[in-house]
Structure 1
Amino acid sequence: MSKPFSWEQFNDMPIVGILRKLPAHKLEKIVSLYQQCGLTTLEITMNTEGAAEMIQQLNDAYPNLNVGAGTVCNQKDLDVALRAGASFIVTPITDEKLIARCKESNVPVFPGAFTPSEIYKAWSAGAEVVKLFPAGLLGPKYIKDVLAPLDQIKLMPVGGVDLQNFTEFLQAGAVGLGLGSQLFLKEAIENEAWEQLESHFKAFVDKYRAYRGS
């Protein structure tokens, strides 16, 4: 059974870390550092080997962490994710049937969209937040332009978001940010350079807090 998604934690630190194809034996160390640094929301993609087991493990070990499932592309993936206890669902596409099923299960869903029509379709179907993907091709100005007429919609850019530009997306009106390899440094993880990874996590947290404080 899914634990409730904490909007309070998400709104306080609106960075969603995306873990894709991570070796299971390194999960505990990475997530421990992640939470210690003040990050609160984490997505395990369903194309990661053992994704369901990872979600269950993290839910048990980190009750104060939002643990969701990403790259949910079909009903089978969704069923597995919900059984594993995912507290939110992220998709790379807009599938109204998947959105409806998440609503029935009282689990927040962040479907992927690209164009204004897709964004509006996802929002109208019941998305709590629409994942703008791939955001790197569009940039912060695109978000500002879309939200001018569609200011009721909550957008979370994913793809192309990094330490240098993430506050620009927030300034443009994004309510959250999804980061994968730009947050989870591949080389640091491969070399188990945990101090480097911790420092990188802290850089995001510190920059966000400074942005919010200003």
Structure 2
Amino acid sequence: MSGLLDVLTRDRVLPLFTPEDLRASRTRLEALQDLGVRAVELTARSPKAATNFGTLRREFPNLLLGAGTILDPDTARAYLAQGAAFLVGPCLIPEVARVCREVGAPYLPGAGTVREVVEAQGAGAEIVKLFPAEVLGPAFVRALRGPLPGARLLVTGGVTPTEESVRTWLEAGALAVGLGGALFKLPAEQQLRRLKALLATARQLTPSEARP
């Protein structure tokens, strides 16, 4: 079991954002760390994000900082060289999976069908990103866990920052939920207060594979 899997099994929530502004990203990570968050996905959606990632990785050695939206092996190698603890993508890229296997880094590729989940697992993914969740819905997670009861799913792209939404996805069988834009678009004074409540709710729910 990887360190990331341990963390998501406990926290059940993965915050994610693009580190476009270094100062703001530093402040956000400090606040997340104070809440007890141990893993954060920093999406690689701009040149500034790539530049800032290495700085933030050095400044927050106790956080598992992963890089998201990884679409090619060169980008994968660049982020891993900067210390990325894991890589996330919207779909399975076999070459990226191979790069991650070579260095033993967790890779969370996106999947939107049962076949894609199986293919991601076959490529070595311990956790598969279910995306876009807003299209698939919690019923898909429940149905998928019939033929694939051991599938560990990170649900993103459809989770709203409410206790009802988080609970619905986790009780459907997701290992964890990714919270990004919808959470961080809230007024600054509400973001951490809301996340604190969501973490408390999520941590009380036992992952499906751990239930007797």
Q: In the alignment, what sits opposite 1:197?
A: 191
Letter in 1 for 2:122: S
Q: What is the TM-score of this pair, normalised by structure 1? A: 0.87
Task: Extract structure 1 runs of 4+ deviating beyond 4 A.
Answer: none
Q: In the alignment, what sits opposite 1:173?
A: 173
Deviations 1:114-173 (A, max 9, x none): 011111111111111110100111111100101100112211111111223111111111
Residues 1:7 and 1:130: Cα distance change in structure 2 (over 3 Å): closer
Q: In the alignment, what sits opposite 1:27?
A: 25
Q: In the alignment, what sits opposite 2:209?
A: none
**Cα distance in 1 for residues equivalent to 2:21 and 2:58:** 19
Report the CA distance between 1:206 and its aligned residue: 2.3
**Cα distance in 1 for residues equivalent to 2:19 and 2:50:** 12
Q: In the alignment, what sits opposite 1:66?
A: 64
Q: In the alignment, what sits opposite 2:203?
A: 209
Asked whether the equivalents of residues 20 and 48 of structure 2 are also in contact (C-alpha less than 8 Å), the reply is no
Q: In the alignment, what sits opposite 2:115?
A: 117
**Cα distance in 1 for residues equivalent to 2:193 and 2:104:** 36
Q: What is the RMSD of the two structures over their aligned residues, measured on CA atoms? A: 1.8
Letter in 1 for 2:97: I
Residues 1:5 and 1:22: Cα distance change in structure 2 (over 3 Å): farther
- Asked whether 1:146 is paired with 2:144, we answer yes
Residues 1:147 and 1:6: Cα distance change in structure 2 (over 3 Å): closer
Equivalenced residues, count:
203
**Cα distance in 1 for residues equivalent to 2:49 and 2:173:** 32
Deviations 1:1-60 (A, max 9, x none): xxx844333321121111126322211111111111222211111113322333322322
Residue ranges of structure 1 left out of the alignment (5+ in a row): none
**Cα distance in 2 for residues equivalent to 1:62 and 1:5:** 16
**Cα distance in 1 for residues equivalent to 2:204 and 2:51:** 36
**Alignment map for 1:11-160 (pairs within 5 Å):** 11-20=9-18, 22-160=20-158
**Cα distance in 2 for residues equivalent to 1:42 and 1:176:** 13
Asked whether the equivalents of residues 52 and 84 of structure 1 are also in contact (C-alpha less than 8 Å), the reply is no
Asked whether the equivalents of residues 167 and 208 of structure 1 are also in contact (C-alpha less than 8 Å), the reply is yes
**Cα distance in 2 for residues equivalent to 1:55 and 1:22:** 9
Report the CA distance between 1:207 and its aligned residue: 2.1
**Cα distance in 2 for residues equivalent to 1:10 and 1:210:** 13
**Cα distance in 1 for residues equivalent to 2:47 and 2:146:** 41
Letter in 2 for 1:44: L
Residues 1:10 and 1:57: Cα distance change in structure 2 (over 3 Å): farther
**Cα distance in 2 for residues equivalent to 1:211 and 1:153:** 17
